[in-house]
Amino acid sequence: MNPAINREISIDAIHADAIEMAGSQPITTGKLPPQIKLPSLTGSRFWAALLVFLFHSSLPSDLAPFSDPTIQHIFTVIVGKAGWLGVSYFFILSGFIMVWSARDNDTVGDFYLRRFAKIYPTHCLTWAIAFIIGAMSIYQYKLWSSNLLLLNTWVDDVHYFFVGNRPSWSLCIEAMFYLSFPFLFRVMKTIPEKFDLAGLIIVTAASLLVQTYIYIWVEPDKMMGAFPISQQHFWVSYIFPPSRIFEFLAGMFAARLLMNGRMLVLTKTASFTLLAATYIGSMYIPYQFSMSVVFIIPVCLLIVSIAGDDLKYRNTLLNSKTSVWLGEISYSFYMVHFLVLFYFLNLTAGRKFSLPEGIALIAVALVLSVSFASFLYKYFEVPVMKLILEKCRAKALVALRKPS
C-alpha cells in the first residue's frame, strides 16, 4: 500500500525535464490534456493511511489495547474493514494518478527511476529498523531476503505474507503496478475514449469473476487466525499480486474518464455516503469479497469527486495546507506506523487497558507515528530520492554525450 505512488512530489517538479536515455521509449504515445494539480487527492492519502493504522491497532498481534472484551469487539467491528478499504483506495488511486500525471516527454527508464527512488530507500530503512526492534530474526534469512527484494507476496506461505515491517507486503504489489504501467498505459491509449466506461465496468466485473472463481474452486486450508478466511484463499485473493491488478486498472480508466469529461462526478457527500454504505454492507457478505472487489466502484467515484474540487478550484479540508502536508508524509507514515505499534505492544508486554487508557495509547502511537514520518520524510525520504535522481540522471547524461 501504498501511498507512495499517488503524487509526484516536488522532487519530480525539480526534475521535470527527463533525460532522454539512449534506447528509451516514451511512455505516452499521444498528447494528454493540460495537467492540473490535484492537492485534494494528496491530502486524502493520509486519511486512507489512517484507516490502515486504526485497523492494525485493533489486531491482537499489533496492539488491541482494550481490556474489556465488549469494547475491544466493538472497536474491531468498527475498523475491521478499514485496512482493506485503505489499501484498496491506494491501489486504485495509484492507477488514477499514474494516468493523470503521465507526461509526453517521459521515458520508461526515467519513470522506473523515479518510482525506485521514491519507494525503495524508505523500504530498506524500515526493513532494517524491523530487525533492530525484533520484528524479525536474522536467522529467518529466506523470509527477510524475500521481503527486502519485494518478492515475499509471490510465495504461497503464510510465514512470508507479513514478514518484518508488515505493511511492506503491499509494496510487492505496487512494484508490479510500476513495472506493468508503461505497457498497460500504451495499450490503454489504443482504446477509443468512448469505451473507457465499458473498460471500468469490465475490469470490475473481471475482479468479481476472479474472486468468485477463487471462492468456489480454491481448496481452503488452515485459517488465517485473525481473519475468518483460509490461508490459501487469503493469499490467492488478496496477497498474490496479479489478483490486485484490477483495482489499478480501474483507477486508470477512472482517470481517463475524468480527463475526457465522461465520468459521473458525484458530490463528496453522495460519494462518501455510498462508500459508507458499502463499508457497512461489506460486513454482511462473504469475507473474501469484502477485502477488495466490493470497494472498487465506490472508491473510484470518491476519488473522482475529490478531484472535482480541485478542477473547480474549491478550497476544502483535503486541499488545505495541513492536509496536503499530511498527504506528503503519508508514505513514511504508512511505513513506520506498524513499527511504532509493535514497539508499544512489546513495551506494554501485551497488557490490556481501560477505555480511556487504551484510547490514550492509540493516540500516543498515532502522534509518534506522524512525528517519525515527518522526520523521515524531511531528512531521509526526500533527500535520498533527490540524490538518487541527480546521480543517476547525471550518469545517464554523461553516457549519452560520450562519442560512440
* Res 238 pLDDT > 90: yes
pLDDT in tens, 131-175: 999 988 888 899 999 999 999 999 999 889 899 899 999 999 999
Q: Give the closest residue to 77 by CA, choosing from 64, 67, 87.
A: 64
Residue 223 in domain: no
Task: Write phi, then psi, for 136 (nearest 5 degrees).
Answer: -150, 160
pLDDT in tens, 97-131: 999 999 888 899 999 999 999 999 999 999 999 99
Residue type, 91: F
- Averaged over 329-356, what is the pLDDT? 95
* Res 6 pLDDT > 70: no
C-alpha cell at 49: 493511511
pLDDT in tens, 28-77: 444 434 568 999 999 999 999 999 999 999 999 889 999 999 999 999 99
User: Higher-confidence residue: 124 or 3?
Assistant: 124
pLDDT at 36: 83
**Distance from the Cα of residue 202 to its chain's centroid:** 22
Residue 231 in domain: no
pLDDT at 61: 86
pLDDT at 269: 94
* Res 208 pLDDT > 60: yes
Averaged confidence pLDDT in the chain: 90
- DSSP characters over 289-338: GGTTGGGHHHHHHHHHHHHHHHHTT---STTSHHHHHHHHTHHHHHHHHH
pLDDT at 401: 60
* Predicted model pTM: 0.90
Residue 219 in domain: no
pLDDT at 403: 58
Residue type, 279: Y
Whole-angstrom distance, CA of residue 251 vs CA of residue 88: 10
- Give every CB contact of residue 355 below 8 A, 6+ residues apart in sequence: 66, 68, 71
3-state DSSP call for residue 223?
Answer: strand
**Distance from the Cα of residue 344 to its chain's centroid:** 24
| Residues forming beta bridges with residue 26, ordered by sequence position | 107
pLDDT at 156: 92
Residue 263 in domain: yes
Give me the percent of the chain exceeding a pLDDT of 90.
78
* Res 4 pLDDT > 70: no
Residue 274 in domain: yes
Whole-angstrom distance, CA of residue 246 vs CA of residue 91: 9
Residue 339 in domain: yes
- Averaged over 208-220, what is the pLDDT? 95
Directed axis angle between helix 382-401 and helix 108-132, to 10°?
Answer: 140
Q: In 114-144, which positions are buried (b, 16+ CB within 10 angstroms) versus exposed (e)?
A: bbbbbbbbbbebbbebbeeeebbeeeeeebb
Task: Write phi, then psi, for 230 (nearest 5 degrees).
Answer: -70, 155
Residue type, 381: E
Radius of gyration of the CA atoms of the chain, in A: 21
Directed axis angle between helix 39-57 and helix 355-376, to 10°?
Answer: 140
Q: Quick one: DSSP state of residue 69?
A: H
pLDDT at 15: 38
pLDDT at 402: 60
The total of structural domains in the chain comes to: 1
Confidence category of residue 22, pLDDT binned at 50, 70, 90: very low
Q: Which domain holds residue 385?
A: 3-208+237-401
Directed axis angle between helix 82-100 and helix 245-259, to 10°?
Answer: 50
Residue 56 in domain: yes
pLDDT at 11: 38
- Give every CB contact of residue 219 below 8 A, 6+ residues apart in sequence: 232
Q: Give the closest residue to 150 by CA, choosing from 237, 239, 231, 23.
A: 239
Residue 327 in domain: yes
Whole-Å CA distances, 22 to 106, 109, 114 = 13, 10, 17
- Give every CB contact of residue 315 below 8 A, 6+ residues apart in sequence: none
pLDDT at 221: 87
pLDDT in tens, 300-332: 999 999 999 999 999 999 999 999 999 999 999
Q: Give the closest residue to 260 by CA, choosing from 203, 318, 311, 205.
A: 311
